[in-house]
Structure 1
Amino acid sequence: MAAPELPADLLPAEEDLLYEEEILRDPFSLKLWWRYLQARKDAPARKRRLLFERAIKALPGSYKLWHAYLSERKAAMRGQPLAHPGYEALNNTFERALVTMHKMPRIWLDYLGLLLEQRRITRARHTFDRALCSLPVTQHDRVWELYVRFIRQDAVPVETALRVYRRYLKFDPTQAEDFITFLQEKGHWQEAAVRLADCVNDPDFQSVKGKTKHQLWLELCDLVTKHAQQVTGLKVDAIIRGGIRRFTDEVGRLWTSLADFYIRKGLFERARDVYEEGMASVLTVRDFSLVFDAYSQFEESMLAAKMEAQEDLEPEGESPDVDLRIARLEALMERRPELVSSVLLRQNPHNVHEWHKRVKLFAGDPTRQILTYTEAVKTVDPLKALGKPHTLWVDFAKLYEKHGDLPNARVILDKATQVGYKAVEDLAAVWCEWAEMEIRAQNFKQALALCRRATQQPPETLGRLPDGGADVPVQLRLYKSLKLWSFYCDLEESLGDLASTRRVYERILELRIATPQIIINYAALLEEAKYFEDAFQVYERGIAVFKYPHVKDIWTTYLTKFVARYGGKKLERARDLFEQAVEKAPPDAALPLYLAYAKLEEDYGLARHAMAVYERAVKAVADTARMQVYEIYIARAAEFFGATRTRDIYEAAIESGLPDKDVKAMCLKYAALEKKLQEIDRARAIYVHASQLADPRTDPAFWQEWNDFEVQYGNEDTFREMLRIKRSVSASYSQMHFRIPEHLLVKNQPVEGQEAAARPAVDGMAALEQQAQPSTSPGVSRAPQFVSSARATAEMAQAMGVDGGTTEVPLNPDEIELKDEDEEEGGSDEEDGVHLAQKEVPASVYGELADKAKKQGETREEPVGALERIKRQRRQ
């Protein structure tokens, strides 16, 4: 039978003859076929399809030809409706290709993708299975990725998808989380819970999503509690309780989850038991708040449900227990403070303050308070206690005392004295409280007996003294408790006699636990009993034991009492006591002792002795108190010996190295004294000295005072001199930070070979600058040393141009010509508005000089100025 003829459009063209001849010569050459196909890219689809069919018929095992052919066929079908017959032809082509290409995953994946586009569920599932059977295991992951995407489609039956997913987990178990998520999406809670429990229990499981075992556990708890009706076969209670034991930071949430599980199961009483157990076991207030809030909401919802049910019931129907629900909710709210206290005590059962708060919660219920105190004293470990554990015992005993049961209170306090406290003070406080209870009950003798019993030295310590370490029980160290002994002393003073009280004080001194206050109290007791010498001996014993600063109060009290007792009768003994007190007194504690010593000499001794004490005091006291002592010293010297005697004190104070501000204040006081005595020249010399310490810019008060002084007592020359000094001091302060150090001045000296005439000028100018400028060396006062009044007068006269009766001033060859002061200031003082007051000098100022002048016939028509007086004094 003859072959059918091809249509004209499928017959080879003239340009194809060359390729056809080559293929006839070698029909199995892939290169020739591929070159032929590439040359006919623009040919019609039917012609290219025929050419591909001829090629794959000749070379059925060529992956290149099959892949190019299938890709071109798929591209041609893109955008066509799913009912197009070309899809079936394309599927058949893929099937023919897989006959020889069944080991090529790319062909399978393209075929599976085509089937997914066609939504052919059954055929696609069968094809997936065939692909997995044909391809090696190493290439299954490529197929499973597409297979999982296929079964997640809504058109795939759930049971089919679950079966496929279970097979997938056998291939890749790490994707269990995705399967659990898929089960939850499909509503298969039972299998999801089982799978999640397996993941939690598997120690080798590692989450690909980065979740921890803690997160997986919480997801499992949420799953089994929210879907309690659907999840069966799992021990939900055991699972959640295991999480509670393992994850302590989510205890509150897990307890509420467990209760929620039973609520969804309809077991309301079981849920209530879970809530109660949770509140009784949580350790933090945060977890307690979670459980309590969930519990209260549960009770409120139950109450609301019962009330709705009561409204729906007919009158003849049964009435639900609404009252019981209300009572339960109210009782829960009232128990909240107690439950919170229990939580805090579970956190730290040795918290004493929290136990006290718990007792206050049961105010009005003595039975509950007694039970709470009993539990507290049994629970609290004194060595671990936060607070004072003895207060629990004391308050416990006071509770019985409050209700009039003293025997039981004594039993409790007796047990409290046997507890191993951390500190001796706690045990001493128990004994003191016990004695105070007996005093409140008017049992004074028993209170004293308790103190004697507590302070008695244990037999174990008679041969040795405990070192006071933590390993020694507090009961063996109690007899040296100062608190207990002080309380014992107070009781003996109030209830005992003098002899018993003295024995207690002597015992304290023997044990060497006395304090300065104990010494003072003991001496005061003896003074009240008129045993003055015994009291003074007690002071002496305290002085021998203590040192400064602790002995300061003893010395002060001792000296005050001794002077008040004997006054001037035992003056030498008092002086010896004061000498002992000031001998070892530090500077900061010496001031009151020296003042008291000087007061003694003023009242009962000699004034010169008092002055000697003041003179010693200014050297012994602290620097901050020296100015105060000098003021007192000057006032007493003026009172006893007159104002003229204070000059030496003023000069000593100025030379003693006081701070600059104190020296300036002392100079002003000294100048005021001299002005009061009409010693004008001496006062002016003091002002000149103090001016070096007063910056005109920061201390205008000093210069105003000197200005007033010159206006009142000076003349034109002294006023000009004051202005010159003021300018000099102001310049020195303004140039203080711009001076050249002395070691740099050496560089300016001429070297050898320079002219000799230049050397004296440089050296002379440096010398003049060093003399004119105050010293700025560290540790050296900027002001010049104070000089006596005679020397100051001579220097003042020399500064004004007077030298030993001559008025000629030596000329300075290096002096620079400057204008006169009148010209420099722009006119005379009168032109500038400065008017100097002219006042006759009183005759008392001149003293004997005035009488001599009258005898010699020396008379002047105008007042004698300061310069003339200085000249006259020097001539005399």
Structure 2
Amino acid sequence: MADENKDERYELQLIEENSLDNWLRYYWYKQSAEGKVCVLRRSVRALPRSYKLWCLYLDHLVEVVGPLCPVQYSEEYGKVCKEFELCLRLLNKLPLIWVRYLEFAMSMAEVTWIRRLFNRALRTLPLTQHHLIWPVFLRFADEVGGLTGGLIYHRYYTYDPSQLELVVEKLQAFKQLSLAAPLFETLINDDSYVSNLGKSPLDLWLEYFSLLTETSTQAKVDQIVSFALVKFPDQQGKLFVQWAMYYIKLRDYTRASIIFEDALKQVSTIKDFTMIYDSFAQFQDKRLSKLVASDDSDPQELDYRIACFEKLMDSRENLLDDVKIRQDVNNVDNWLHKASLTTDLRSKIQIYVDALTKIDPQRATSGLSKIWISYATIYEENNDLETAKTILDKAVKVKFNSPDELSEVWIHWSELELSQDDLPMAIKVMEVATRLNPKIPQLWGFYLDLVESTSDVEATCAIYEQLFTNKMATPLHVINYANFLEENKFFERALSVYAKGVTLFKYPVVFEIWNIYLTKAIQRQLSLERMRDLFDQSLDACPEAKDLYVLYSKYEEENGSIQRSLKIINNSLENVKGWDDKLALFKLAIQLCRDKFGVPTTREWFTKAVESLPPSKCIEVVIEFAKFETSLHELARARHILQHGAMLQSVDKSKDLWEYWNDLEITNGDKQTFKEMLQWKRRATDEFGLSRETKGFINDGRVNENKPEDEQAQQSVENPDAIDIYI
């Protein structure tokens, strides 16, 4: 009775005012689902254009029938659909109502009716609201699949062309290949298209090709592959293999073999060649295996297949050379290697002809002359000398990249004449070669060898003089020219050649010529004044050449001028740069003093050497100095010198000095002197362990450790512990 009174209250409110709020309060008051549905059914009829009430009402209806089987309770489902239809008569422009209706309808088994319902929704709603319908429609398409699903997705493409890839993928999944093929072709022909699924253009094309093999004619497949080979030149191997596999699936083995063979002649990368060759070999191997396993195979066909397979195996290296040549037609080594693989004379000649026809001499790698020479050699070996000379005559007109290659052709031509014992003609060839190419040293060298072999002195000299005139002479030419004149007893002319040669070059190149020139002049016993003049000229040209100073010094010594000899060495120390050279000169001067001048002068030079040389070179002189004093029984002096040397370098770097000092004390010293030696050794160890690596002779060698040793030897500060070397 209480519930009826409350219902009556809500009913009276509705009588007073048929408003949305009153109906909602009434709806909220009801507790049971049936009560709520009843109130909502009355409300939508009382307020038929209330979107909110219709949504609540329809949602409740769907919630009530949702758990029920749509087939068994089709009548209940039909009632809900009628309510949806009633709502849409009044609110047909509201897309969310359509979405609710369509989602509810999808739970039913009426595919045709559902599809038409979707069509109604799309026709009724404006285009700007279709984006709310299509997600549900596509979900429906995914559920039904097949032709219906394919048509829905095909229609979706017209709504949103940006989803072309998705549409094509779905059409393939639904096996609607005839619908997918035209759209896929549109996709791959769009060069600006970027895959939404992260696929490369090649991936898309391969999918399209796979689709074509199931839907299109052979002519269409061939056309598309030909287009792809141009569009994807870096993927030719994969494309050719896919093309051949298509015909293998059709059991058109002849066409597949033709594709493989054409591919091997077209690809230009090793990767593509390897892929195609391996696939072709595998294809032939499988065909051969089937024939062998078959009991009724034709013996002739079996022999033919075996021959084809062996031919393919044998041709691999030759085919690979063709690929390398296509990669770079101007690579000479590839052509030469290809020619080396064949023993057939005609094939080899054709290879050389192709090479010389296709190679651009200005872009060719080194060795183009070898092709010309090898080409001519074929005819030489077959005694067709006229043809060989014709080829060489063409070759010498080629603009080779390198003059060395041109010289090789000319020299080979001359050697060809020599092989026929025609020395005059060989010389004539080189005469023409040097006249046309006066700046190629190899031609002049071979020309000289030929002319010298004739023993014609004047002709040989004329060629050498031509080299001087053309400024083509090298130091070796100067030396060879002079030796040639000496061998023919023209000694003065030989010396004049050296005199001319030393004017052509600068130090250090000219040093060797001066060295030989001065040696030869001494042997010829030129006058003292003339020799001194030559030596002075040589030292002006080669101021750093130690060997020339040594040679000059010995010459003066041998001619009785000991003072000049020592003066030359003294002067050399100012010009010679290397410390090894300076050390050698000091040794020479010291030995000269010991032999010719006596103790005081020798001590001066020892002292000068120790003061001038860096520690690493000085230790050797210190030891020799100490030995010199020991030989004079000046042991105190020797010990002072060794004490000085001990402080030049670390103990590890002066092992020879300490070994000599140790032997000196054992032989000539006593307990006290040996103890002093050990004290100096400890002092040196402590000194270098705490501070520096090197010390000067008179001054403390506190120097910049980052500077070279040569500079360190010249930088010093005053050292109060320095010994007085002039004892």
User: When the two structures are superposed, what TM-score results if normalisation uses the length of structure 2?
Assistant: 0.89
Aligned to 1:845: none
Aligned to 1:472: none
Cα drift, residue 505 of structure 1: 0.9
Q: 2:117 aligns with which of 122, 127, 131?
A: 127
1:236 correspondence with 2:221: yes
Aligned to 2:711: none
Q: Secondary structure at the match of 1:153?
A: helix
Asked if the contact 1:341/1:358 (under 8 Å) is kept, the reply is yes
Deviations 1:526-558 (A, max 9, x none): 101111110000000001111111111111111
Q: 1:422 aligns with which of 390, 398, 401?
A: 401
Report how many residues are paired: 709
The CA distance in 1 between the partners of 2:12 and 2:69, in whole Å, is 41
The CA distance in 2 between the partners of 1:319 and 1:653, in whole Å, is 97
Aligned to 1:580: 537
The CA distance in 1 between the partners of 2:455 and 2:666, in whole Å, is 78
Asked if the contact 2:640/2:723 (under 8 Å) is kept, the reply is no
Q: 1:571 aligns with which of 511, 528, 541?
A: 528
Aligned to 2:464: 505
1:29 correspondence with 2:19: yes
Q: 2:280 aligns with which of 295, 301, 306?
A: 295
Q: Secondary structure at the match of 1:161?
A: helix
Deviations 1:190-230 (A, max 9, x none): 332222113333567665445454443332223223x2xx4
Deviations 1:327-359 (A, max 9, x none): 222222222222211111111111111111011
Cα drift, residue 608 of structure 1: 3.7
Q: 2:60 aligns with which of 63, 72, 86?
A: 72
Aligned to 1:394: 373
With over 3 angstroms needed to count, the CA separation of the structure-2 counterparts of 1:682 and 1:312, relative to structure 1, is closer
The CA distance in 1 between the partners of 2:104 and 2:284, in whole Å, is 60
With over 3 angstroms needed to count, the CA separation of the structure-2 counterparts of 1:785 and 1:506, relative to structure 1, is farther
Q: Secondary structure at the match of 1:382?
A: coil
1:658 correspondence with 2:613: yes
Asked if the contact 2:699/2:717 (under 8 Å) is kept, the reply is no
With over 3 angstroms needed to count, the CA separation of the structure-2 counterparts of 1:79 and 1:283, relative to structure 1, is same
The CA distance in 2 between the partners of 1:294 and 1:682, in whole Å, is 91
1:17 correspondence with 2:5: no
With over 3 angstroms needed to count, the CA separation of the structure-2 counterparts of 1:574 and 1:786, relative to structure 1, is farther
Aligned to 2:710: none
The CA distance in 1 between the partners of 2:657 and 2:674, in whole Å, is 15
**Residue type of the alignment partner of 1:679:** E
Aligned to 2:308: 328
Does 602-611 or 701-710 show the bigger shift? Answer: 701-710
The CA distance in 2 between the partners of 1:688 and 1:133, in whole Å, is 115
Does 396-405 or 696-705 show the bigger shift? Answer: 696-705
Does 423-432 or 615-624 show the bigger shift? Answer: 615-624
Cα drift, residue 68 of structure 1: 0.8
The CA distance in 2 between the partners of 1:357 and 1:31, in whole Å, is 98
The CA distance in 2 between the partners of 1:782 and 1:680, in whole Å, is 27
Aligned to 2:568: 613
Q: 1:55 aligns with which of 12, 27, 43?
A: 43
Cα drift, residue 673 of structure 1: 2.1
The CA distance in 1 between the partners of 2:191 and 2:617, in whole Å, is 85
Asked if the contact 1:776/1:782 (under 8 Å) is kept, the reply is no
Q: Secondary structure at the match of 1:79?
A: coil
The CA distance in 2 between the partners of 1:330 and 1:627, in whole Å, is 74
With over 3 angstroms needed to count, the CA separation of the structure-2 counterparts of 1:776 and 1:271, relative to structure 1, is closer
Q: Secondary structure at the match of 1:404?
A: coil
Within-5 A mapping of 1:226-375: 227=214, 230-232=215-217, 235-307=220-292, 311-312=295-296, 321-362=301-342, 364-375=343-354
With over 3 angstroms needed to count, the CA separation of the structure-2 counterparts of 1:161 and 1:716, relative to structure 1, is closer
Cα drift, residue 181 of structure 1: 2.3
Does 719-728 or 159-168 show the bigger shift? Answer: 719-728
User: When the two structures are superposed, what TM-score results if normalisation uses the length of structure 1?
Assistant: 0.75
Deviations 1:552-582 (A, max 9, x none): 111111122222232xx63332232222222
Q: 2:716 aligns with which of 774, 780, 796?
A: 780
With over 3 angstroms needed to count, the CA separation of the structure-2 counterparts of 1:161 and 1:670, relative to structure 1, is closer
Asked if the contact 2:557/2:565 (under 8 Å) is kept, the reply is yes
Does 503-512 or 722-731 show the bigger shift? Answer: 722-731
Asked if the contact 1:732/1:773 (under 8 Å) is kept, the reply is no
Does 91-100 or 690-699 show the bigger shift? Answer: 690-699
Within-5 A mapping of 1:633-652: 633-643=589-599, 645-652=601-608
Within-5 A mapping of 1:131-210: 131-154=121-144, 158-201=146-189, 207-210=195-198
Deviations 1:816-853 (A, max 9, x none): xxxxxxxxxxxxxxxxxxxxxxxxxxxxxxxxxxxxxx
**Residue type of the alignment partner of 1:248:** P
Aligned to 2:418: 439
Q: Secondary structure at the match of 1:235?
A: helix
The CA distance in 2 between the partners of 1:580 and 1:264, in whole Å, is 91
Asked if the contact 1:256/1:294 (under 8 Å) is kept, the reply is yes
The CA distance in 1 between the partners of 2:476 and 2:285, in whole Å, is 66
With over 3 angstroms needed to count, the CA separation of the structure-2 counterparts of 1:661 and 1:162, relative to structure 1, is closer
Q: Quick one: percent identity of the two aligned structures? A: 32
Q: Secondary structure at the match of 1:280?
A: helix
The alignment yields a C-alpha RMSD, in angstroms, of 3.2
With over 3 angstroms needed to count, the CA separation of the structure-2 counterparts of 1:304 and 1:640, relative to structure 1, is same
Cα drift, residue 517 of structure 1: 0.3
Q: Secondary structure at the match of 1:605?
A: coil
**Residue type of the alignment partner of 2:490:** Y
Aligned to 1:90: 80
Asked if the contact 2:649/2:688 (under 8 Å) is kept, the reply is no
Does 660-669 or 108-117 show the bigger shift? Answer: 660-669
Aligned to 1:631: 587
Cα drift, residue 269 of structure 1: 2.7
Cα drift, residue 21 of structure 1: 1.7
Instruction: Give the helix-richer structure, 1 or 2.
Output: 2
1:599 correspondence with 2:530: no
Does 624-633 or 479-488 show the bigger shift? Answer: 624-633
Q: Secondary structure at the match of 1:480?
A: coil
The CA distance in 2 between the partners of 1:339 and 1:454, in whole Å, is 39
The CA distance in 2 between the partners of 1:389 and 1:287, in whole Å, is 28
Cα drift, residue 284 of structure 1: 1.2
1:669 correspondence with 2:624: yes
Cα drift, residue 63 of structure 1: 1.5
Deviations 1:756-800 (A, max 9, x none): xxxxxxxxxxxxxxxx994736612676777464xx3xxxxxxxx
**Residue type of the alignment partner of 1:327:** A
Within-5 A mapping of 1:720-739: 736=691
Cα drift, residue 377 of structure 1: 1.3
Asked if the contact 2:331/2:365 (under 8 Å) is kept, the reply is yes
Asked if the contact 1:618/1:626 (under 8 Å) is kept, the reply is yes
The CA distance in 1 between the partners of 2:561 and 2:354, in whole Å, is 75
With over 3 angstroms needed to count, the CA separation of the structure-2 counterparts of 1:246 and 1:606, relative to structure 1, is same
Does 529-538 or 393-402 show the bigger shift? Answer: 393-402
With over 3 angstroms needed to count, the CA separation of the structure-2 counterparts of 1:212 and 1:235, relative to structure 1, is same
The CA distance in 2 between the partners of 1:697 and 1:331, in whole Å, is 73
Cα drift, residue 88 of structure 1: 3.5
With over 3 angstroms needed to count, the CA separation of the structure-2 counterparts of 1:614 and 1:297, relative to structure 1, is same
Cα drift, residue 117 of structure 1: 1.8
Cα drift, residue 509 of structure 1: 1.1
Asked if the contact 1:571/1:605 (under 8 Å) is kept, the reply is no
The CA distance in 1 between the partners of 2:37 and 2:224, in whole Å, is 66
Q: 1:483 aligns with which of 442, 462, 481?
A: 442
Cα drift, residue 360 of structure 1: 0.2
With over 3 angstroms needed to count, the CA separation of the structure-2 counterparts of 1:479 and 1:143, relative to structure 1, is same
1:514 correspondence with 2:490: no
Cα drift, residue 103 of structure 1: 2.3
Does 544-553 or 115-124 show the bigger shift? Answer: 115-124
Aligned to 1:107: 97
